[in-house]
Structure 1
Amino acid sequence: MTLPRWLLAGLLLCSGLQAAELRVCQHDASRYAYRLELIRLILERTTATHGELHVAAAHGVDPPQERCLAQLRAGMVDLAYVPPNAERLRDLRMIPFDLHAGMLGYRLLLIHREDAPSFARVQSLDDLRLLRGGFGSQWSDFPLFALNRLPVVGSSHPENLLAMLTERRFDYYHRALHEAWEEVGDHPERHPELMIEPGLALVYPLPVYFAFNRAEPELRQRFEEGLSLIQADGSFRELFLRHFGEQLRRSQLSQRRLLILQSDLPEGLPAADSRFWLQP
């Protein structure tokens, strides 16, 4: 006898053959390996209290950030990770915990090798304003250039920025510590004309929060509990340093001139706890 489709689906669900899945918007493992591993660690630590939940298999290419957030609002995905702003804090359920512990706010400059003497003379933001940066025009921190009166060339195709820097369309391209090493520092053969500037770093707050649809308060609560657990048992620190510890060491932030940028973040957000990796 052939069972009705609705009855078969119910039997499969009750028998546990269909595991619950968490739909994550940004699932590119090459780009988001750390964040995806962090999600899996949280789910593992909370299985006993909240049940089995697994990250759904990736399908297709990651959408742009704003489309991803639209999918989250519509309930098409369950989780995203994005920098906060006033609109996102109002419309979504966000956990005010920086997944990168403040690290993304420390930015190294990628420059043309021949321009190293010019950057060695930069002592202040006023000096940097004599040079021109390049950046992704759709990225959430792009408006900081205008806010800090820094000349910039914006590109809606950020995959072209390294080539544009090589062609001298602008003077520098600032990247997070791990990005700078992955894109240029560890692979000089890819862009032999470029280098990581050795004496400067830009600094501004750039937290990344877990974001959930407002219709899923239980999921947000589960992640809050999981974050508390992995901070308390040291596994968050272990995961972070396993992914970024070597790049942090090589960046030698304590020996760089730090240029502090004004930020446009909403007021009242908690400061990231960077004490376990940021050496004074």
Structure 2
Amino acid sequence: MRHHPPPDPQRRQWLLGSASFTAAMPPATAAASPIEAVYPRMPERPVDGYAYQLLRLALEASGQPFRLRLTAEELPSVRAFKSLESGEFNVMDAGAAPRLAERAEVLPFPLDLGLCGYRVMLVRRDRVAALRQVHDLTDLRRLSFGQGPDWVDNYILRAAGLSVQEAEFLALFRMLEAGRFDAFPLGADEAGTLLDTFRHLAPSVVVLEDWCLHYRFARVLVVRRGQPALRQALSRGLQAIFNDGRAQALLRRDARLGPVLTGQRPLPERVLQLPNPQWTRAFDAIPEPLMFMPGRPAH
């Protein structure tokens, strides 16, 4: 394991500024009852993924006994928020969106350092030459994009005047293969891996290396309302692992994020910026120094 360097001045300033947040949380006690954490079993949320691994690491760092398990059944993504609210599970990771703060408790730590805001395109091989000619918003508005049902990305893309088709996650690979839309944007941390996993559904699809989209975004943990013990334990644990660098070290080792964070698999040089009107005050608590920026080392 590589040793994590000491925090830089920006990050140290954030650590000092977060002291009141930490002090406001009740301390864990050895006699406390185990925390029950139930995570959704979903195709796009594998247990070897960084979000689940950070969840476990945060629980371990909380100083609180815990039990972490998956839902008995696999859930479709369209049911995710309803299932969270109904109590089928009590913690999940999701893209930062206003509805999260309205329907669940948001923990303001960027699980992916904001890397999911860099959206890499999956495209059909026979469309690569044409899509290489995209340079600006006008060009983007001539294309159609596939996205999952009710993903926050849909609102961001449509707010920029882009055309979006929604479908269940696995169906999107089949639809792209059939030419139903031009591109399937996915986070830079997941596009290549997910294509490898589901290539049998889209054998003609490749990763476009010429350009990507970017908007302010991050993946966060959310906890079902009425679960204060779980929320407090995770807040303590996340604070600890981001403070001492264990979270960043885990992300650098991750097969999906690591190569991008370390520069071994750089992002496309052409990054087309889109505004994110879905980024609200609820997410201003996410520390900006923790957000990934090309050319700036991940701390």
TM-score by length of 1: 0.79
Query: Distance in 1 between the 2:264 and 2:144 partners?
Result: 26
Contact 2:114–2:292 (Cα < 8 Å) also in 1: no
Contact 2:105 2:225 in 1 (8 A): yes
Question: CA separation of 1:186/1:162 partners in 2, compared to 1, >3 Å: closer, same or farther?
Answer: closer
2:160 corresponds to 1:144: no
User: CA, structure 1 residues 174+90, in 2 after alignment: closer, same or farther (shift >3 Å)?
Assistant: closer
Question: What corresponds to 2:39 in structure 1?
Answer: 25
Q: Structure 2, unaligned stretches of length 5 or more?
A: 1-30
C-alpha displacement of 1:117: 2.0
Cα 1:250–1:111 change in 2 (3 A) is farther
2:60 corresponds to which of 17, 34, 44: 44
Conserved 8 A contact 1:102-1:273: no
3-state SS in 1 of match to 2:74: coil
* Pairwise CA distance, 1:219: 2.2
| Match of residue 242 from structure 2 | 231
Residue 194 of structure 2: aligned partner? 183
Counterpart code for 1:23: A
Alignment of 1:117-266 (within 5 A): 117-155=129-167, 157-184=168-195, 191-243=202-254, 244-246=257-259, 249=263, 251-253=265-267, 255-266=268-279
Question: Secondary structure, in 3 states, of the residue corresponding to 2:156?
Answer: helix
- Gap change, CA 1:94 and 1:264, over 3 Å in 2: same
Residues 1:250 and 1:110: Cα distance change in structure 2 (over 3 Å):
farther
TM superposition shift of 1:258: 0.8
Give, in angstroms, the shift of residue 165 of structure 1.
Answer: 1.6
Quote the offset at 1:105 in angstroms.
Answer: 0.8
The aligned residue for residue 6 of structure 1 is none
| Structure 1 unpaired stretches of 5+ | 1-15
Seen in structure 2, the aligned counterparts of structure 1 residues 138 and 170 have a Cα distance that, compared at 3 Å, is same
Q: Please tell me whether the aligned partners of residues 145 and 183 of structure 2 are also in contact (alpha carbons under 8 angstroms).
A: yes
Contact 1:185 1:196 in 2 (8 A): no
Give the aligned CA root-mean-square deviation in angstroms: 2.8
Shift of 1:234: 1.5
Instruction: Tell me if structure 1 keeps the 8 A contact 2:115–2:291.
Output: no
* Percentage of matched positions with identical amino acids: 24
Query: Would the aligned equivalents of 1:21 and 1:56 in 2 still touch at CA under 8 Å?
Result: no
Aligned partner of 2:46: which letter?
A: R
Cα offset, 1:167, TM superposition: 1.7
Count residues with an aligned counterpart: 257
